[in-house]
Amino acid sequence: MPAQNIDGVLLSQQLRGEIAERAAKLTAAGKQPGLAVILVGEDPASHVYVRNKVKACGDVGFHSVLEKYEADLSEADLLARIDALNKDPAIHGILVQMPLPKHIDPSKVIEAIATSKDVDGYSVLSAGELVANLPGFRPCTPYGCMKLIETTGIDLRGKHAVVIGRSNTVGKPMALLLLQANATVTICHSATPDLGLYTRQADVVVAAVGRRNTLTADMVKPGAVVIDVGMNRDDAGKLCGDVDYAGVREVASHITPVPGGVGPMTITMLLMNTLESAERVHSSKQIVPGQASGMDPKPGVA
Ligand SMILES: Nc1nc(=O)c2c([nH]1)NC[C@@H]1CN(c3ccc(C(=O)N[C@@H](CCC(=O)O)C(=O)O)cc3)C=[N+]21
C-alpha cells in the first residue's frame, strides 16, 4: 500500500482558520497582529515568496507592511529601518527576507531585530531559547515539520529520527525539536559517508539538503514517516524536493509532497509566531538566571 500523503495545504488551511479567529479577537480589542516584511534587491524567487507571505497575512486578517529596497541599500539604512520597526507598536513581527545582498552582513541584521519580534526565530537569542527549552519563537520551517509529523499520530518517544542537513535555519533546530519530543536523533550531512546506513534505521526522516533524489526507496525503512524540506528544480524545471517521491511513496507510511508539503507550513508558522507575538504568549523575554522554566524535569537524568 502506498504511503499516505501528508497535505501541507490542508493542514495550513485548518491552522490559518484558527489563526484568523484568534486574530479577530485581538483586532476587536484594538491589537490587530502586524507583520513587517523587508526585501532588499531583485531576486525573483524572493519577490514571489514575499508576496505570498503578505497575501497570507491579509487572508488571516493581519496588518502587514512590505518594504522593498534597491540592492544598493546601505547596511546602516537597513539597520535604521529595523530600529524604527522595533519601536512601532503596530508591528509584532519583523522578517527580513534572505538572502541579502553581499555588502550587508545578515547576522548583524538578524541580531538587530528585537527578540520579541523575531518571528523567523533566526536570532542567537531565539536559538538559545530553543536549546534551553525556554519559550520563544521557533524557526518556522522545522516548527511546521513538527506539525506535519503530528498529523500522522506517531508518538516520537523512543523513535529514531534522522535529520539530513545541519543548517541553522532547518537542520539544527529540527533536530532539537525532535529531541524535545523525546525522539532519539541522528544528524547526517554532506560529510556523512553512508547516508543509507542511518536512514534505513529511521522511523522518521527529515530531508533538508537542497539536492534532489538524496533519499531513495532503498534508503527508507518500511513504514517510516518522510518529511521533504527540499526545494529544487528537476530537468524540466519543475519544483521538486530532496526525496524521490514516487519511489519512497511505495515504502513509507506517510510522506510530504513538494510542492504542497513543508512550504505552505513555513508561512503558516510565521503567521502563528506573529499571532503569538501580538498575544504576547512568549513573555519570557527577560531571562532571569535560575528561573528558566525549561529546566529539565529531573536534573541529572540524561
Ligand atoms: N527571513 C526569511 N525567512 C524565511 O522563511 C525564508 C527566507 N528568509 N528566505 C527564503 C526561504 C524560503 N521560504 C519559503 C517559504 C514558503 C515556500 C512555499 O510556500 N512553497 C510552496 C511552493 C511555492 C512555489 O510554487 O514556488 C510549496 O512548497 O508548496 C517556499 C519557500 C521561506 N524562506
Q: Give 71-128 pLDDT, tens digit per residue.
A: 999 999 999 999 999 999 999 999 999 999 999 999 999 999 999 999 999 999 999 9
Q: Which is the closest atom of ligand 1 to the Cα of 120?
A: 3
Domain span including residue 88: 27-117
Q: Which is the closest atom of ligand 1 to the Cα of 270?
A: 5
Residue 75 lies inside a defined structural domain of this protein: yes
> Domain total for the chain?
2
Give the whole-angstrom CA distance, residue 284 versus residue 239: 40
Is 50 exceeded by the pLDDT of residue 289?
Answer: no
Q: What nine digits make up the cell of 7? A: 497535505
CATH number for the domain harbouring residue 224: 3.40.50.720
Residue 258 lies inside a defined structural domain of this protein: yes
* Residue 210 Cα to ligand 1 middle (Å): 13
In the predicted model, what is the mean pLDDT of the chain?
Answer: 94
Scanning the structure block, which residue is given the C-alpha cell 526545494? 231
pLDDT value of residue 288 = 47
Residue type, 118: D
- Pair (201, 258) in one structural domain: yes
Q: Any binding-site annotation on 166?
A: yes
Of 10, 13, 49, 137, the residue with max ligand 1 atoms within 8 A of its CB, to mutate for a pocket test, comes to 49
Q: Which residues are catalytic?
A: 53, 97, 120
- Pair (145, 234) in one structural domain: yes
- Of 121, 54, 110, whose CA–CA distance to 82 is shortest? 110
Residue 19 lies inside a defined structural domain of this protein: no
Residue type, 141: T
Give the whole-angstrom CA distance, residue 241 versus residue 176: 22
Burial 237-265 (b: 16+ CB within 10 A, else e): eeebbbbbbebbbebbbbbbbbebbbbbb
**Is the predicted ipTM greater than 0.90, yes or no?**
yes
- Using CA positions, which residue lies closest to atom 21 of ligand 1? 263
Residue 269 lies inside a defined structural domain of this protein: no
CATH number for the domain harbouring residue 49: 3.40.50.10860
Q: For residue 28, count CB atoms less than 10 angstroms from its CB and return exposed for 0-12, middle for 13-18, buried for 19 or more.
A: exposed
Q: How far apart are the first and last CA of the chain?
A: 39
Instruction: State the pLDDT confidence band at 282, using cuts at 50, 70 and 90.
Output: confident
Residue 68 lies inside a defined structural domain of this protein: yes
* Residue 51 Cα to ligand 1 middle (Å): 11
Q: Which is the closest atom of ligand 1 to the Cα of 48?
A: 26
* Residue 121 Cα to ligand 1 middle (Å): 15
